[in-house]
Amino acid sequence: MTVRSGRPRLRALLGMLTVRSVAGQVFLLQVLIVVLLVAAGITALFFNAQSDGDREAQRRALAVAETFANAPGMEAALGSPDPTAVLQPRAEAARKPAGVDFITVMNTEGVRYTNPIPDLIGKKFTGPIEPVLKGGTTIEHLDGAFAPYVRATVPVHASDGTVIGLVAAGVRLERVRGVVEEQFPLLLGVAAGVLLLATVGTALVTGRLRRQTHGLGPEEMTRMYEHHDAVLHAVREGVLILDEDRRILLVNDEARRLLGLPAEVEGRTVDELDLDPHTARLLADGRIANDEVYRVGQRLLAVNQRTTDQAGGPPGTVATIRDSTELEALSGRVDVARERLRLLYDAGEEIGTTLDVVRTCEELTGFAAARFADYATVDLVEAVLRGEEPTSTGAEADMRRTALSGPRDDTALFALGTTIRFLPSTALGAGIINGEGVLEADLAGYGGWEQQSQSRARRLVAAGFHSMVAVPLRARGAILGVAMFWRADRPQPFDEDDLSLAEELVARAAVSVDNARRYSREHTMAVTLQRSLLPRGLPEQNALDAAYRYRPAQAGLGGVGGDWYDIIPLPGSRVALVVGDVVGHGLHAAATMGRLRTAVHNFSTLDLPPDELLWHLDELVARLDQEETEGLPESAGSAGDAGAEPGLVVQPEAGITGATCLIAIYDPATGACTMARAGHVLPLVVHPDGTAAFAAVPGGPPLGLGGLPFETLEMVLPEGSTLVLYTDGLVEDRDHDIDERLALLRDVLSGHGDRPPEETCDAVLTALVPEKPRDDIALLVGRTRLLSPSQVAEWAVPSDPSAVGDVRARVARTLTDWGLEEEAFTTELILSELVTNAIRYAVGPIRVRLIRDRALICEVSDHSSTSPHLRQAANTDEGGRGLFLVAQFADRWGTRYTTDGKVIWTEQPLSRDEPPDD
């Protein structure tokens, strides 16, 4: 029984595998594909194993060389009288466990100290060692006497960082590749198993395919032809087959019905039939036709015709006829639907192009008046216009007409800016409360809409307004306002389909209005924060006349960008001008700007030069960036995410990503100006004769990159020179090259060397700033002054303790000439202590300078870089109280380092705010 039952299955399987059957061909093709895939996989594994072996050899050689080079006692061993005696046992002891073929230690000249082959010890190393002597590492693939190998050479560093030797480690590739190649039998076994399983699976799938197709044998073909007549006559599409003589060979029942043909029509020519002329001509010509429509009686027929000999069949044609009478009416409705879809698509392209509430409303009314209605208006709740969060409903709230569009302005519609409160008793008021659209198809019927304003309603109807649709602007459950559409010139009144279209149109616009409102709120908050962090006035100083301007970016175009400026008085009547720009926009940029401005103030108290100050700022920005990046959550939702807190648009930012800054320090005593910049645009200097040129301040990287130095530019500015500092928002424009904008800035300032700073700011903003700037703009202008010679006294002091008395005498005479006799005793005490310290502890020439400005400034300079420090002297100490006395009598004191030493300075307040005119 088992044998008998198995024979039919065997015969079926053999029949399946015959190439004459479709199932057999599919089986052979699938087996071939599987074999090719397995072969390709084994080949890829082989080459991958070769590559892995090479990488493993490199890694092992480099790791062993670096480990041995950094081993404890290496420096002492290389410095011993006999390095080979110390290192050879260690190298051989480490070589075998590490799995390498040799470890060679050599001196800086390439002479070997260790090697598995003793004969090579003391001989020169054959290989490049120059890169290693410079602190680098080399990895080489070499062909040895017996097998190829990989060699890695690394330097041995002394405790002071110098290279005192070299270590080379090598391993044969066959040692590493052998481990991988041992796995090939297993891989081949797995591949054979995969091939066997794939073959069995393919056989099962092929058998299933054969069972489903039934082999397409003669019996199946016979059965197919038995049913074709029934199918041909049952379809609802007419079919006519004609031979080359235009005689009808076959016609189905649907064709007889549509063309009105008699029952016995086969064998007759087209000309013998009473057909519509257009249809008869098409069938008689035998040309190819695609959905050609003909009117036959009350029917609209779509006819297709093809030749029958395209694939080697008998000559003739086959025509199919379809009744399209119902489609004619449906196509009209499809055209209307297509037009409305196009209108909604265009609305999405034209409405909400900016993040400005009023502009979005204007885009809605302009689009609707041109494409949907004749007139359109939008009224918004007052809170929405202010950027505030609206209440849950806008009903019974004051609304302001924000946008109005139409062919005429002299209508009875409420004008722009009018405050409107819709009556809850009207259909429109109820619709606003419920958030539903309202349709008034016949305004002349006065169905209650006129209660809002009866006089205006009569004038509107008299002007030809005949229908209206009103739809509330609703977003996130709150009513933002209402959009109203009016028809006056178009004769067709609004219908229910128009109401649905208006609701869809307004729903899309409401999202844009709400996004613009939330952005406006954030922009207002960012501008407020930005302005609160910027200077509110100019500090008191006599170094220069200054003026400044700040222009935030237009809401919806760019946003607040973190630009800032500052004027910081420094010791010695000097002043620092600072302009900076934080990368990014919004609240984050404004807050970061405040932190950087505070940091500049703090660093300025250290009295550092501009390049060192920028270096400290660079470290600060990099640290802040790292802290904020580490504190950023793994997934932060955007403002559009579900569950986001309504109101404020908050976008997560991954760190500060950098900032730019320009610092200029001006000394009115000498006219010297020192400038440095970090990724910032060049400043511009206008000389007293009107010549304007950009200062060639060396370019430095933006703050936050770290590791790169900053350089300074030192120049002497004549009195009356104008220094113009600005941010990139002033000169960058999408429509113009930045070189053109910089040239325009220079041209605006050229020829106006005597223009005051305030007028300079106004002239620059008028010429370069558009009405709606896309980026923040900070502008700082300073016109230099010089202290008169009568305000400065300076002399050299010999390095002799007896010179202190002469210093006291000259100070007394100078202060008497300045009318500051009351300050003489204190000043003599301060300078005598500072000069005494310089004579005792400093080196080089000593100079004393007195400056009479808003304060009396004393400076003692020397060529020592050691700064004195304040300490508390004991009762038994003979000295140590000098700086303590200086700190007690001076209002401020400190140290300023220069390129050739330092300056100790003090400030004493004067009884008057400004020095007398000389």
| Predicted local distance difference test score (pLDDT) of residue 833 | 84
Q: Taking residues 637-642, report their average pLDDT.
A: 38
| Predicted local distance difference test score (pLDDT) of residue 882 | 61
**What residues contact residue 761 under an 8 Å CB cut-off, 6+ apart?**
547, 548, 549, 779, 781
Share of the chain above pLDDT 90, in %: 17
Model confidence at 4: pLDDT above 80: no
| Predicted local distance difference test score (pLDDT) of residue 335 | 64
| Predicted local distance difference test score (pLDDT) of residue 695 | 95
Q: Are 483 and 377 in contact (CB under 8 A)?
A: yes
Amino acid code (one letter) for 55: R
Alpha carbons 44 and 40: distance in angstroms, whole number: 6
| Predicted local distance difference test score (pLDDT) of residue 466 | 93
Q: Are 84 and 167 in contact (CB under 8 A)?
A: no
More confident position, 755 or 44: 755
Burial 15-46, CB ≥16 within 10 A → b, else e:
ebbeeebebbebbeebbeebeeebeeeeeebe
Q: Taking residues 433-443, report their average pLDDT.
A: 88
More confident position, 193 or 226: 193
Lowest mean pLDDT among 140-149, 511-520, 777-786: 140-149
| Predicted local distance difference test score (pLDDT) of residue 225 | 60
pLDDT band at 716 (very low <50, low <70, confident <90, very high): very high
Q: Taking residues 833-859, report their average pLDDT.
A: 86
More confident position, 392 or 311: 311
Average pLDDT, the chain: 80
Model confidence at 704: pLDDT above 80: yes
| Predicted local distance difference test score (pLDDT) of residue 229 | 67
More confident position, 387 or 730: 730
| Predicted local distance difference test score (pLDDT) of residue 486 | 93
CB atoms within 10 A of CB 308: 17
- Joined together, the tokens standing for residue 94 give 């480490």
pLDDT band at 426 (very low <50, low <70, confident <90, very high): confident
Model confidence at 918: pLDDT above 50: no
| Predicted local distance difference test score (pLDDT) of residue 283 | 82
Q: Taking residues 612-617, report their average pLDDT.
A: 90
- The per-residue pLDDT for range 164-209, each reduced to its tens digit, is 899 998 888 777 765 555 666 766 777 677 777 777 776 776 666 5
pLDDT band at 638 (very low <50, low <70, confident <90, very high): very low
Share of the chain above pLDDT 70, in %: 80
Structure pTM? Answer: 0.51
Lowest mean pLDDT among 515-524, 529-538, 769-778: 529-538
Model confidence at 634: pLDDT above 60: no
Model confidence at 353: pLDDT above 70: yes
| Predicted local distance difference test score (pLDDT) of residue 23 | 53
Most confident of 90-94, 589-593, 721-725: 721-725
Q: Taking residues 124-138, report their average pLDDT.
A: 86
Lowest mean pLDDT among 660-664, 691-695, 826-830, 879-883: 879-883
| Predicted local distance difference test score (pLDDT) of residue 219 | 57
Model confidence at 855: pLDDT above 50: yes
| Predicted local distance difference test score (pLDDT) of residue 555 | 57
Most confident of 8-17, 180-189, 228-237, 843-852: 843-852
Model confidence at 777: pLDDT above 60: yes
Q: Taking residues 487-501, report their average pLDDT.
A: 90
CB atoms within 10 A of CB 882: 19
Burial 821-859, CB ≥16 within 10 A → b, else e:
eebbebbbbbbbbbbbbbbeebeeebbbbbbbbbbbbbb
Q: Within 13 Å, how many C-alpha atoms sit on residue 348's CB side?
A: 7
Alpha carbons 7 and 24: distance in angstroms, whole number: 19
| Predicted local distance difference test score (pLDDT) of residue 688 | 93
pLDDT band at 145 (very low <50, low <70, confident <90, very high): low
- What beta strand segments (E) does 834-887 contain? 846-852, 855-862
Model confidence at 370: pLDDT above 50: yes
Q: Is 709 exposed, middle or buried (0-12, 13-18, 19+ CB in 10 A)?
A: exposed
- What beta strand segments (E) does 749-791 contain? 777-784
More confident position, 664 or 231: 664
More confident position, 890 or 533: 890
Strands 901-909 vs 892-898: parallel, antiparallel or unpaired: antiparallel
3-state secondary structure 670-688: CCEEEEEEECCCCCEEECC
| Predicted local distance difference test score (pLDDT) of residue 295 | 77
CB atoms within 10 A of CB 657: 16
- The per-residue pLDDT for range 85-126, each reduced to its tens digit, is 888 888 888 888 888 888 899 988 888 889 888 888 888 888
pLDDT band at 760 (very low <50, low <70, confident <90, very high): very high
- The per-residue pLDDT for range 659-689, each reduced to its tens digit, is 899 999 999 989 999 999 999 999 999 999 9
Label residue 448 left, alpha or beta by phi (over 0 means left) and psi (-120 to 50 means alpha).
left
